[in-house]
């Protein structure tokens, strides 16, 4: 927005950027945040740790990476490839087969399933919405994903892996929706993987906290103003519209307000809860080929759940921990009154665990923002709290629409100026 000539004031009640999605350093600060004693003497050099509260991987060819390149904020960021992408099936951790070569060597599929899966990949990678000849009698707007998979005679195990570990759907609802979205998701995953052989994901060195800081530096170059560690005393409204923000005895007038849900609790609604368990390890996760970073997806059907369970593993290789140390974050949507029991199967894959830090937060979404100049957001303009997934998902149509609606004077509270669905 600063680059586009908007006057932007960024007020943050915290002393750091990122809000719920901040990177916490040193390690002692993380322990204080969770109100647990420590860290133990065996974990030294706390300043070497940068622990992301909500870790999210970047798909190499995803919209977010394209936006980072377009805005030139990448000059403030360094990325490194994530070493592996895995799925938990039949009691074991398997590498996600997203290429014909991987499918051929995968023990997730039988011989006939491998052939059918390769045909599906070939169809998806050659699919062009503008060229009906590539559709093979599939109507992408009417044919459901279930019907598409049935055309290729895929087995149930292959469907689960394809839908949840490659297309990255979090529930089964996608099966009865038009298949175009799933086709695009599979293509995006495969194209991202083709950039880097080990996995389709990237992660910034020193953690996700570098992302809002990079945008802050870029905004400051073009006149953006930042006030950290400043309380927001009142949002001044007039006839349902924002007129100003009162902070620390001062009044800042604006025509538009962008904020995370915590600033306007009367304009958000609860959409459920997400549990996250940050685990500090001194070893790589078993059956991941000693990967220093990876993602593991446990499809819902494996645990008789309605939503998947995710494990995000990062380590010293991304300058996030001391040498030889790992950070594994388990997350999922809460479905019962015992959220910690819901993630026990995932935690068992990580044993032994040196330290577990548990959070269980509500997912908040803004009430309709139409005809109102208040936008609630945590990491997105639509106002959705961080989801349990381990990767960023973009909603670029909303991003462009809201950017076009923004006036010249904008005030931002507590939020990186970036539009994404997290």
Output the average pLDDT for the chain.
87
Q: Residue 45 above 50 pLDDT?
A: yes
pLDDT average, residue stretch 66-76: 89
pLDDT average, residue stretch 160-172: 94
Q: What share of the chain is helix, strand, coil (3-state, %, to 5)?
A: 30, 25, 40
- For residue 220, being part of any structural domain is answered with no
Q: In the prediction, which pLDDT does 233 show?
A: 92
Domain residues for the domain of 151 are 97-195
- For residue 130, being part of any structural domain is answered with yes
| Percent of the chain with pLDDT strictly greater than 70 | 89
What are 361-391's pLDDT values in tens digits?
998 877 755 445 666 643 333 345 678 888 8
Pairwise CA distance, residues 208 & 291, whole Å: 20
Q: Which residues pair with 329 in a beta bridge?
A: 278, 312
Q: In the prediction, which pLDDT does 134 show?
A: 96
- For residue 181, being part of any structural domain is answered with yes
- C-alpha distance across the termini of the chain, in Å: 20
Pairwise CA distance, residues 194 & 192, whole Å: 5
Q: Residue 55 above 70 pLDDT?
A: yes
Report CA 85 to chain centroid distance, whole Å. 15
C-beta separation of 413 from 386 below 8 A:
no
Q: In the prediction, which pLDDT does 374 show?
A: 66
- For residue 215, being part of any structural domain is answered with no
- For residue 191, being part of any structural domain is answered with yes
What are 105-161's pLDDT values in tens digits?
888 888 899 999 999 999 999 999 999 999 999 999 999 999 999 999 999 999 999
C-beta separation of 173 from 188 below 8 A:
no
Nearest CA to 188 among 54, 106, 297, 98? 98
pLDDT average, residue stretch 167-182: 95
- For residue 119, being part of any structural domain is answered with yes
Q: In the prediction, which pLDDT does 23 show?
A: 93
Strands annotated E in 260-325: 268-281, 294-298, 309-315
Could you count the other beta carbons within 10 Å of the beta carbon of residue 364? Answer: 21
Which CATH number goes with the domain that contains 106? Answer: 1.10.405.10
Could you tell me the pLDDT band of residue 302, with boundaries at 50, 70 and 90?
A: very high
State the virtual CA torsion across 264, 265, 266, 269 in degrees, nearest 10: 120
- For residue 206, being part of any structural domain is answered with no
- How many domains does the chain contain in total? 1
């Amino acid at each position: 927005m600063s680059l586009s000539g908007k006057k932007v004031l960024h007020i943050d009640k915290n002393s750091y950027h990122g809000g719920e999605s901040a990177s916490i350093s040193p390690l002692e600060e993380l322990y204080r945040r969770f109100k647990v004693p420590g860290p133990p003497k065996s974990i030294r050099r706390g300043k070497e740790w940068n622990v992301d509260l909500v870790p999210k991987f970047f798909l190499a060819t995803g919209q977010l990476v394209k936006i980072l390149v377009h805005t030139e904020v990448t000059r403030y960021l360094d990325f490194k490839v994530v070493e592996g992408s895995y799925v938990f099936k039949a009691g074991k951790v398997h590498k996600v087969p997203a290429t014909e070569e991987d499918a051929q060597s995968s023990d997730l599929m039988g011989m006939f399933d491998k052939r059918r899966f390769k045909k599906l990949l070939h169809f998806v990678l050659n699919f062009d919405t503008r060229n009906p000849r590539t559709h093979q009698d599939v109507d992408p707007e009417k044919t459901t994903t279930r019907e598409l998979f049935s055309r290729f005679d895929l087995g149930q195990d292959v469907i689960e892996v394809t839908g949840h570990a490659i297309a990255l759907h979090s529930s089964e609802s996608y099966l009865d929706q038009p298949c175009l979205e799933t086709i695009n998701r599979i293509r995006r995953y495969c194209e991202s993987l083709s950039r880097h052989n080990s996995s389709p994901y990237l992660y910034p060195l020193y953690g996700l906290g570098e992302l809002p800081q990079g945008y802050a530096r870029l905004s400051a170059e073009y006149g953006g103003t930042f006030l950290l560690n400043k309380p927001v005393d009142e949002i001044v409204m007039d006839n349902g519209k924002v007129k100003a923000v009162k902070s620390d005895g001062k009044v800042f007038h604006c025509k538009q307000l962008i904020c995370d849900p915590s600033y306007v609790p009367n304009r958000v609604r609860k959409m459920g809860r997400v549990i996250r368990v940050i685990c500090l390890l001194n070893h790589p996760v078993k059956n991941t080929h000693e990967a220093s970073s990876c993602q593991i997806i446990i499809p819902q059907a494996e645990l008789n759940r309605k939503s998947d369970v995710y494990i995000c593993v990062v380590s010293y290789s991304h300058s996030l921990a001391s040498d030889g140390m790992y950070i594994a974050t388990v997350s999922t949507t809460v479905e019962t009154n015992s959220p910690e029991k819901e993630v026990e199967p995932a935690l068992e894959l990580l044993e032994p665990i040196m330290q577990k830090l548990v959070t269980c937060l509500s997912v908040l979404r803004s009430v309709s923002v139409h005809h109102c100049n208040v936008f609630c957001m945590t990491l997105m303009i639509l106002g959705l709290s961080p989801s349990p997934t381990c990767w960023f998902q973009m909603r670029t149509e909303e991003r462009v629409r809201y950017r076009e609606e923004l006036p010249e004077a904008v005030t931002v509270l507590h939020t990186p100026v970036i539009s994404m669905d997290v």
